[in-house]
C-alpha cells in the first residue's frame, strides 16, 4: 500500500517502523535527518517530485511517499467484549473518516466498524487520520443491522446521532456503549434508528442547524467518555 505526506509517514516511523517497506523522499532533507532514516533498516530512495506525484496520485505528497504493509482489518465480533465502539453507517468521505479515526483514537474509543460499504480507500484514510488508523482496531461489515444486532445481544447500549435526539449533555451514558453515525447526506436511516436505544444530539445556538459529521463525532465521543 502506498501512503504519503510527512505527518503520516513520520507517525509510522515513530510507531510502526516495522511496517515500512520502502521510503521515497522527493525533497532535500538535512544531512543528519537523511542519515537517520538510512539507519532505520528499510530501503530509502531519493526520487524526482514528478515521480512522487505519480506514485501518490496527488500533488499533496509533501515530498514523502512510502510503501507500507496493508492495514489489517479485523472481524467485528472481536470487538464485542469492548466498552466503547464507534459504528460508521454508510460514511464514505475519506477526509471525514480519517478525522473521525484520529479523534476516536485520541478520545479512547476501543474500535471502529464501518458499515454499508464493501471496501474503503485506506491509502487516503491513512493520510487523513495521520496514520493513527494503524492503532485503531477497524472492521468493515456491509450490513449495518447485523452489526447492531450483534452489539445489542452482547450488552451494548446503542446511541445514534441525529439532530432530533436528546441533548447529549442530559443523556445517561452506559459503560458498555456504541455510538452510531450516519452518512454525510442521509444521516441515520429509519431502519437503523429502530434498532437504537437512544438518539442523541448536540444542541446548537444562534440558529445554527448542523455540524460536519467529524466535528459532531468528536463532541459526542468526548461527552460519552
Domains of the chain by residue range: 2-68, 76-223
Query: Residue 184: pLDDT band by 50, 70, 90 thresholds?
Result: confident
**pLDDT of the residue at 159:** 98
Query: Residue 207: pLDDT band by 50, 70, 90 thresholds?
Result: low
Mean predicted confidence (pLDDT) in 206-222: 84
pLDDT, tens digit, for every residue of 61-112?
999 999 999 999 999 999 999 999 999 999 999 999 999 999 999 999 999 9
What's the number of CA atoms in the CB half-sphere (13 Å) around residue 134?
24
Q: What is the bridge-based pairing of β-strands 111-115 and 64-68?
A: unpaired
**pLDDT of the residue at 206:** 63
pLDDT, tens digit, for every residue of 109-142?
999 999 999 999 999 999 999 999 999 999 999 9
> Which of 3.40.640.10, 3.30.1330.30, 3.40.366.10, 3.30.450.20 is the CATH number of 2-68?
3.30.1330.30
Q: Are 113 and 84 in contact (CB under 8 A)?
A: no
DSSP for the chain reads -EEE-HHHHHHHHHH-GGGEEEEEE-S---HHHHHHHHTTSSEEEE--HHHHHHHHTSSTTTTEEEEEPPP----GGGGTT-SEEEEEES---HHHHHHHHHHHHHTT--EEEEES-S---HHHHHHHTTTGGGGS-EEEES-HHHHHHHHHHTTPEEEEEEEEEEETTTS---SSEEEEE-BTTTBS-HHHHHH-SEEEE---STT-----HHHHHHHHHHHT-
Superfamily of domain 76-223: SPOUT methyltransferase, trefoil knot domain (3.40.1280.10)
**pLDDT of the residue at 111:** 98
Question: pTM score > 0.85 for this model?
Answer: yes
Angle at 83 between CA 8 and CA 217, to 5 degrees: 50
Q: Are 42 and 160 in contact (CB under 8 A)?
A: no
Plot region of 164 (φ>0 → left; ψ -120 to 50 → alpha; else → beta) = alpha
Amino acid at each position: 500500500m502506498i501512503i504519503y505526506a510527512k505527518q503520516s509517514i513520520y507517525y509510522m516511523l515513530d510507531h510502526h517502523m516495522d511496517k515500512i517497506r520502502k521510503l521515497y523522499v522527493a525533497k532535500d532533507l538535512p544531512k543528519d535527518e537523511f542519515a537517520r532514516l538510512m539507519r532505520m533498516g528499510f530501503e530509502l530512495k531519493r526520487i524526482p517530485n514528478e515521480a512522487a506525484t505519480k506514485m501518490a496520485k496527488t500533488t499533496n505528497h509533501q515530498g514523502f511517499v512510502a510503501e507500507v504493509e496493508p492495514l489489517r482489518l479485523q472481524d467485528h465480533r472481536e470487538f464485542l467484549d469492548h466498552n466503547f465502539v464507534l459504528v460508521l453507517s454508510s460514511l464514505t468521505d475519506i477526509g471525514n473518516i480519517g478525522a473521525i479515526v484520529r479523534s476516536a483514537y485520541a478520545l479512547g474509543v476501543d474500535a471502529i466498524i464501518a458499515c454499508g460499504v464493501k471496501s474503503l480507500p485506506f491509502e487516503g484514510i491513512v493520510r487523513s487520520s495521520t496514520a493513527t488508523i494503524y492503532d485503531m482496531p477497524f472492521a468493515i461489515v456491509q450490513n449495518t443491522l447485523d452489526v447492531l444486532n450483534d452489539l445489542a445481544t452482547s450488552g451494548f447500549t446503542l446511541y445514534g446521532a441525529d439532530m432530533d435526539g436528546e441533548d447529549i449533555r442530559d443523556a445517561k451514558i452506559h459503560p458498555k456503549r456504541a455510538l452510531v453515525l450516519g452518512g454525510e447526506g442521509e444521516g441515520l436511516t429509519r431502519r437503523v434508528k429502530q434498532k437504537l436505544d437512544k438518539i442523541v444530539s448536540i444542541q446548537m445556538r444562534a440558529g445554527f442547524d448542523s455540524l460536519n459529521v467529524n466535528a459532531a463525532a468528536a463532541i459526542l465521543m468526548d461527552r460519552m467518555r
